[in-house]
Amino acid sequence: MKSVSASHRRRERFIALTLLALFMFCPPMLLIIDRLPGLLGWLPLYLFIVWGVLIGFTAWLVEPPKRP
Amino acid sequence: MRGDLVVIGTAFSYLALLFMVAAWGDRRAEQGRSLIGSPTVYALSIAVYCTAWTFYGSVGRAAQYGPSFLLIYLGPTLAMLLAPFTLRKMVRIAAQQRITSIADFISARYGKSSRLGALVALMALITITPYIALQLKAITVSHAVLMNYPLGADTTLDNERFWMDRSFWIAMVLAVFIILFGTRHLDASERHEGMVAAIAVESLVKLIAFLAVGIFVTFILFAGPAALLAEVAATPALMHSMRLENVPGGATGWVGMLLLAFLAFFTLPRQFQVLVVENVDEQHLDRASWLFPLYLLLINLFVIPIALAGLLLGEGDPDSFVLTLPLSAGLEGLPLLVFIGGLSAATGMVIVETIALSTMVSNQLMMPLLLKVKGLYSGRHGRLADWLLNIRRVAILLILLLGYLYHALIGDSYSLVTIGLVSFAGVAQFAPALLIGLYWRGATRQGATLGLLAGFFIWFYTLLLPGFAQSGWLEASLITQGPWGISWLSPYALLGLSGWDIYTHSLFWSMLANVGLLVGISLFTRPTPMEQTQAALFTEAMHPHLPTTARWQGQTTEGALYTLLVRYLGHGATLRVFTALDAPLGDAEAYQRPASGELITRAEQALSGSLGSASASVLINSVLRGEALDMESVLTILDTTSQALEYNRRLEQKSQELARVGEELRSANERLREVDRMKDEFVAMVSHELRTPLTSIRSFAEILRDTPDIEAEKRQHFLGIMVLESQRLSRLIDEILDLARLESGRLSLKPVPVDLALVAKQSSEALARLHDEQGLTFEFIAEVSTAMVLADPDRLEQVIINLLENARKFADTQQPRITLRIYEYNGAFRLSVEDNGPGIPVAERENVFEKFYQLKLKESPKIQGRPKGSGLGLPISRAIIHHLGGKLWAETSTLGGTALQLELPRHSV
């Protein structure tokens, strides 16, 4: 029972992460970042940072904790 | 320095290295020590996604359209986030059904339909050939740039014959490579170990090459990103280059492109090949779900700096910036490394894509045709296994030639990214049939076929055809005014929908038609039993109790199956199928034995892995008599198991609840039993205690009755004992009654303000005579003069006397000592009675307050021969003190024995 609910929880976290990614990569958020004042625009930097954070989260979700 | 020989030599040496890696990988696999059974290699092999288009084209796209190039990689990142839901399911289905390609997958899902498989294979061929051409073009162009710099790449290309074209020869070398390492086994569902190893190496090479040029441009050509950005900021023309306004179609185009890349990632034949067919372990998806996006991030990290640097320095065609920038700095080695990186990216893609396509061509296009020719499969002449491999080899050669031809004929009219995106939009048409079919059991073959056809047609009309028009093959007015001047049919603005970028526009219309027809037609068509079964097996793939395949109902002999398998798979593979099931062949008897259902299933799986599911199904049917498949049973099994699962889940909930209630009941029962036991014990003890004095009274009375002439002195003595025993009896009964009243709460205490010290004084004086008789040293210490508490004075005296009596019984026999002390503690008054007896072990301290409890200190000689109490004194005392709102407990005395402590709250007037 325990392992089933754990894998359920993992799936829920993945869904949440995907929705978060969609939100971060899509228009309302995108337009907000694009319109930030700045000489060259913040969009590329923003995308790379969000991307990196997402990758970090995914790795944290899937990689089992290291046992000594 | 940069001689043609050096470049060509390096390129072919690199290809030779790939051959060695692949050969090594295959050898290790044969030895059973797979090189690639690791999630990291799996993730690297997925990076075949990054083709020459990424390597050269990303910079080109960034230079032209700003950050939109990133969408091609954010789409797959999203797709990998969904890997636990989609890819895992696809991998499991592919393993269960021995799927060989995406065409096979879609065909198998819709009832192992040969026609649907052929349609998908054909569409893949049409959409992917330009993409292969694009890779060959990238090799040619990058070579030309390398050779001709600082002249443009185009100067010499036009004059070359094909035998002078390096990409032609590279295509041929690749053909040899793919034939050697891609067609080793007939079973296409098996992993191509050597090839995957080579692809993983290529992924590393292209990443290193790109990072090298990125670091060079950012940190050596310019003094770091800040310096680069400062120069860009000083160039007004570049100020807005990385903003959304530069993205074609703006926000709509952005979302469209994200969706396009997301869908294409699932449906590109090479991605399906590495993600699903070449996967050996579902668990590898876990690592890949972050490692592959990380790879994408790294390979894109320097795209913007390179693009900006190229634009700043004005280095010609943006698609070639990665080469021209190091060349402009006069470097020799780095451009060569970049060229090799680009070559890796291009060859990796060509290798995997060609294998995937050739499998589709042989299994989905050629096999069904061959099966139509009666003599070929019913006749007795064998060796079709070799035939099939040869078909695949010829297909590989033809696909590469086709790609080359496309590149040579029309490749020049498109920039790299354009061809790539057109291909993306083409293969994205497979997505509805694939993804919807994965979750919706109701999707039917007719719906999928019509959806695919409509989507494909719209893609062709809105992207490919205008592409031809732009190349000058068709009139440009087709785009500007629409065909025959009908403006609402204009390919880039269908129904007047304009203002979107061409890919989003095409994706929107094609997906609308595709999904619309798939869903709409499915709702109004009835699937065949085979379709129903397959649909159930696909949608329920993650079901833990899934029957692996349909059950075969028809009859055949082992001999017939054996002959069939030998003809198509050869002796080795056939023997593996039979020995795996312990069905040894060899004698004539075995030939006539009816084949078990499991053997038929295994035979079909083996055929599926080599020929595709549709052909395998046809072949198995050809040797079966009677109704072939027990369709109903699979559906019933699936439905009942899912129902059973639901019941199970509910049952489990119920039983958990029951278990909890049961546990509660059990503990309540336990408590009741304990109480019952205590009551029994109590009754037994009371009877025992009452019987002792009664027995003695009775026996003395009998003596007196039976011996009337007893001496007067003796009679007096006996009567004295009888009186004492009667007194003891009535005291005992009083105590029992007290206790019963106390426990039932019927004892009425009349608390009045009383001085504890005074009551203690009186009580000890009452016992003074007894103490003197025993030679006992009694000490009375009152630390407070008055100690007013609220208590019933008689009962309080009873308690204190009881404590003193208790202490007297247990004090030392030689030099008995008792101390009574009254003092104030934390706003309450305490009375302690201490003795110098043997004391009570810590574990027993609470027990002395139990009814009839007698200390079992038999080993202690000091205790023996003591006058025994009723065992009710302390319990009664504690109950009384509790009633009065105080506490009574035992401690260790400073005198060495026991200290019984009584505490009552102070009564303030």
pLDDT tens track for B687-701: 877 888 888 888 888
Using a CB-CB cut-off of 8 Å, the residues of chain A touching B214 are none
Q: What number is the average pLDDT over the span B90-108? A: 90
Q: State the CATH number of the domain containing residue B865.
A: 3.30.565.10
**Res. A67 pLDDT band, cuts 50 70 90:** low
Same domain, B536 and B591: no
The CA distance from B294 to the nearest CA of chain A, in Å, is 6
User: How far is residue B769 CA from its own chain's centroid?
Assistant: 85
Q: What number is the average pLDDT over the span B789-809? A: 87
Tokens for B51, please give them.
């083709």
The CA distance from A66 to the nearest CA of chain B, in Å, is 14
Using a CB-CB cut-off of 8 Å, the residues of chain A touching B67 are 43-44, 47
Residues B834 and B813: their CA atoms lie apart, in Å, by: 15
Who contacts B427 (Cβ-Cβ below 8 Å, separation ≥6)?
A: B124, B127, B128, B264, B267, B268, B269
Average pLDDT over chain B, rounded to an integer: 83
Supply the pLDDT for residue B470: 74
Residue B579, amino acid: T
Q: Does some domain include residue A16?
A: yes
Supply the pLDDT for residue B464: 84
Using a CB-CB cut-off of 8 Å, the residues of chain B touching A42 are none
DSSP B488-500: GG-TTSGGG--SS
Q: What is the pLDDT of residues B708-765, one digit of tens each?
A: 888 888 888 888 888 888 888 888 888 888 878 877 777 777 888 988 888 888 888 8
Q: Does some domain include residue A25?
A: yes
Q: State the CATH number of the domain containing residue B701.
A: 1.10.287.130
Using a CB-CB cut-off of 8 Å, the residues of chain B touching A15 are 85
Q: Do A25 and B258 touch (CB under 8 A)?
A: yes
Q: Does some domain include residue A68?
A: no
Supply the pLDDT for residue B383: 65
Supply the pLDDT for residue B865: 46
Using a CB-CB cut-off of 8 Å, the residues of chain A touching B80 are 58
Using a CB-CB cut-off of 8 Å, the residues of chain A touching B251 are 27, 30-31
Three-class secondary structure of residue B775 per DSSP: coil
Who contacts A48 (Cβ-Cβ below 8 Å, separation ≥6)?
A: B297, B301
Same domain, B529 and B559: no
Residues of A with CB under 8 A from a CB of B: 1, 10-11, 14-15, 17-18, 21-22, 25-27, 30-31, 34, 39-41, 43-44, 47-48, 51-52, 54-56, 58-59, 62-63
By the 8 A CB rule, do B68 and B255 touch? no
Residue B837 clears pLDDT 60, i.e. is over it: yes
Q: What is the pLDDT of residues B206-253, one digit of tens each?
A: 999 999 999 999 998 888 888 888 888 888 777 777 788 888 888 888
What is the ipTM, given to two decimal places? Answer: 0.92
> Beta strand B817-825 with B777-782: parallel, antiparallel or unpaired?
parallel
Q: State the CATH number of the domain containing residue B308.
A: 1.20.1730.10
Q: What is the pLDDT of residues B162-171, one digit of tens each?
A: 566 777 887 8
By the 8 A CB rule, do B365 and B121 touch? yes
- Identify the domain containing residue B598 by its residue range: 547-627
The CA distance from A55 to the nearest CA of chain B, in Å, is 5
The CA distance from B81 to the nearest CA of chain A, in Å, is 6
By the 8 A CB rule, do B577 and B565 touch? yes
Alpha helices in B216-249 (DSSP H): 225-233
Q: How many Cα atoms occupy the beta-carbon half-sphere of B786 within 13 Å?
A: 9
- Identify the domain containing residue A39 by its residue range: 2-62
Cis (ω within 30 of 0) for the bond into B905?
no
> Which residue of chain A has the CA closest to B73?
A51
Residue B810 clears pLDDT 90, i.e. is over it: no
Q: What is the pLDDT of residues B645-698, one digit of tens each?
A: 677 778 888 888 888 899 999 999 998 998 888 788 878 877 877 888 888 888
Q: What number is the average pLDDT over the span B194-203? A: 91
Using a CB-CB cut-off of 8 Å, the residues of chain A touching B297 are 48, 51-52, 55
| Listed residue (B102, B187, B118) closest to B565, CA to CA | B187
By the 8 A CB rule, do B594 and B555 touch? yes
Residue B378 clears pLDDT 70, i.e. is over it: no
Of all residues in chain A, the percent with pLDDT exceeding 90 is 22
Using a CB-CB cut-off of 8 Å, the residues of chain B touching A50 are none
Supply the pLDDT for residue B792: 86
The CA distance from A52 to the nearest CA of chain B, in Å, is 7
By the 8 A CB rule, do B288 and B39 touch? yes
Q: Does some domain include residue A11?
A: yes
Same domain, B128 and B41: yes
Q: What is the pLDDT of residues B462-472, one digit of tens each?
A: 988 887 777 76
Using a CB-CB cut-off of 8 Å, the residues of chain A touching B294 are 55, 59
Q: What angle do CA B257, B261, B264 make, to 5 degrees?
A: 135
Residues B356 and B612: their CA atoms lie apart, in Å, by: 12
Query: Who has greater pLDDT, B470 or B350?
Result: B350
Supply the pLDDT for residue B367: 84
Same domain, B513 and B658: no
Q: What number is the average pLDDT over the span B771-790? A: 86
Whole-angstrom CA distances from B163 to B167, B168, B404, B517 are: 9, 7, 12, 47
Same domain, B790 and B641: no
Q: Identify from B58, B244, B247 which residue to disrupt to test chain A contact, counting A C-beta atoms within 10 A and taking the largest count.
A: B244
| Listed residue (B844, B845, B851) closest to B677, CA to CA | B851
Same domain, B363 and B459: no
Using a CB-CB cut-off of 8 Å, the residues of chain B touching A19 are none
By the 8 A CB rule, do B874 and B810 touch? no
Does the beta carbon of B542 lie under 8 angstroms from any beta carbon of chain A?
A: no
Residue B593, amino acid: R
Same domain, B699 and B775: no
Q: What is the total residue count of chain B?
A: 909
State how many domains chain A has.
1
Task: Average the pLDDT over each of B627-641, B779-793, B862-876 and give the range with the smallest value.
Answer: B627-641
Supply the pLDDT for residue B318: 84
Alpha helices in B612-630 (DSSP H): 613-623
Q: Does some domain include residue B668?
A: yes
By the 8 A CB rule, do B47 and B295 touch? yes
- Tell whether the torsion through CA atoms of B332, B336, B338 and B339 is positive or negative: positive
Nearest to B290 among A47, A48, A58 (CB): A58
For chains A and B, count residue pairs whose Cβ atoms are closer than 8 Å.
88
Q: Do A31 and B251 touch (CB under 8 A)?
A: yes
Q: Does some domain include residue A23?
A: yes
By the 8 A CB rule, do B14 and B337 touch? no
Query: Who has greater pLDDT, B182 or B865?
Result: B182
**Res. B552 pLDDT band, cuts 50 70 90:** low
Q: Do B293 and A58 touch (CB under 8 A)?
A: yes
Among B57-71, B624-638, B727-741, name the most confident range: B57-71
Q: Identify from B80, B240, B243 which residue to disrupt to test chain A contact, counting A C-beta atoms within 10 A and taking the largest count.
A: B243
By the 8 A CB rule, do B514 and B427 touch? no
Task: Single out the residue in B600, B627, B654 at which a domain terminates.
Answer: B627
Using a CB-CB cut-off of 8 Å, the residues of chain A touching B287 are 62-63
Same domain, B557 and B620: yes
Residues B388 and B382: their CA atoms lie apart, in Å, by: 12
By the 8 A CB rule, do B693 and B671 touch? no
Same domain, B259 and B149: yes
Same domain, B804 and B780: yes
Same domain, B767 and B734: no
Supply the pLDDT for residue B859: 43
Q: What number is the average pLDDT over the span B405-416? A: 67
State how many domains chain B has.
5
Q: Identify from A24, A34, A50 which residue to disrupt to test chain B contact, counting B C-beta atoms within 10 A and taking the largest count.
A: A34
Note which residues in 250-269 of chain B have CB less than 8 A from chain A: 251, 254-255, 258
Nearest to A17 among B81, B254, B286 (CB): B81
Whole-angstrom CA distances from B880 to B796, B807, B887 are: 8, 19, 9
Residues B366 and B370: their CA atoms lie apart, in Å, by: 6
By the 8 A CB rule, do B56 and B320 touch? yes
Does the beta carbon of B297 lie under 8 angstroms from any beta carbon of chain A?
A: yes
Does the beta carbon of B239 lie under 8 angstroms from any beta carbon of chain A?
A: yes
Q: Do A11 and B85 touch (CB under 8 A)?
A: yes
Supply the pLDDT for residue B87: 92
Q: Does some domain include residue B481?
A: yes
Who contacts B243 (Cβ-Cβ below 8 Å, separation ≥6)?
A: A34, A41, A43, B66
Residues B800 and B798: their CA atoms lie apart, in Å, by: 6
Three-class secondary structure of residue B552 per DSSP: strand
Q: Does some domain include residue B423?
A: no
Q: What number is the average pLDDT over the span B897-903? A: 88
By the 8 A CB rule, do B142 and B134 touch? no
Same domain, B710 and B838: no
Q: Do B67 and A47 touch (CB under 8 A)?
A: yes
